[in-house]
């Protein structure tokens, strides 16, 4: 099975196994998703989802967050870790969105990358989930781990992994692909103990399949 064939089979099987896969960060618009994704660095989605309702109640729009006192934001996001840097990024992002984009988060890769606290991973999250645009594949720790295990890439660098995934998966699947890999990584193919015995991919698709590994 070549890499494109493995990619097609992976997409089909994971789609059947995880029909409920979706963005785990609660949000109602691009502004909320951008802020939530900034907060998600080195933090669980569950924790972020506990913090963001308080954040967005205090600062419902980018203009509100742009005018915030950093110390007040720090108190709200403290539990997400690295709260000082995250608060600085949040307020900086909101200021640029307010001053340069009329209060609306932009929907192009270049413009998103101009926002404080936004790198390619965050931009891919926002474009794929807030705007429905497949401009790239989100490569988080789950996607990185599973891509190597399954045999979709031989790289460990996130940028090179993304290029391999883009090359072998159809563009219309890029946003959903990351959700499927993330959900599979959380439910079945865990970092320390992959449940190969119940994995939908099986030995014919996954290069790391071990039949003696059960749940």
- Give catalytic status of residue 140 as yes or no: yes
Can you tell me the distance from the alpha carbon of 25 to that of 208, in angstroms, rounded to the nearest whole number?
30
215 contacts 195 by C-beta, under 8 angstroms: yes
Q: Which of 140, 204, 212, 215 is catalytic?
A: 140
36 contacts 55 by C-beta, under 8 angstroms: no
Q: Which of 86, 95, 121, 164 is catalytic?
A: 121
Q: How far is CA 125 from the centre of its chain?
A: 5
DSSP readout, 102-138? TTS---SHHHHHTSTT--HHHHHHHHHHHS---S---
- Give catalytic status of residue 121 as yes or no: yes
Catalytic residues: 121, 140
């Amino acid at each position: 099975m070549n890499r494109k064939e493995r990619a097609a089979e992976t997409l089909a099987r994971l789609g059947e196994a995880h029909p409920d896969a979706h963005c785990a960060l609660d949000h109602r618009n691009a502004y909320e998703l951008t802020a939530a994704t900034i907060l998600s660095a080195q933090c669980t989605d569950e924790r972020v989802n506990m913090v963001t309702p308080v954040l967005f109640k205090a600062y419902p729009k980018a203009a509100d967050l742009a005018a915030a006192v950093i110390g007040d934001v720090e108190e709200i996001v403290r539990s997400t870790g690295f709260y000082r840097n995250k608060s600085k990024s949040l307020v900086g992002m909101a200021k640029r969105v307010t001053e340069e984009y009329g209060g609306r988060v932009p929907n192009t890769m270049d413009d998103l990358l101009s926002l404080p606290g936004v790198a390619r991973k965050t931009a891919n999250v926002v474009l794929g989930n807030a705007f429905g645009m497949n401009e790239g594949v989100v490569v988080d720790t789950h996607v990185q781990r599973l891509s190597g295990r399954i045999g979709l890439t031989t790289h460990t660098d996130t940028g090179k992994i993304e290029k391999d995934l883009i090359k072998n998966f159809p563009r219309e699947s890029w946003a959903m692909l990351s959700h499927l890999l993330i959900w599979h990584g959380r439910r079945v193919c865990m970092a320390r103990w992959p449940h190969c015995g119940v994995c939908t991919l099986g030995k014919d698709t996954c290069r790391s399949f071990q039949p003696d590994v059960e749940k």
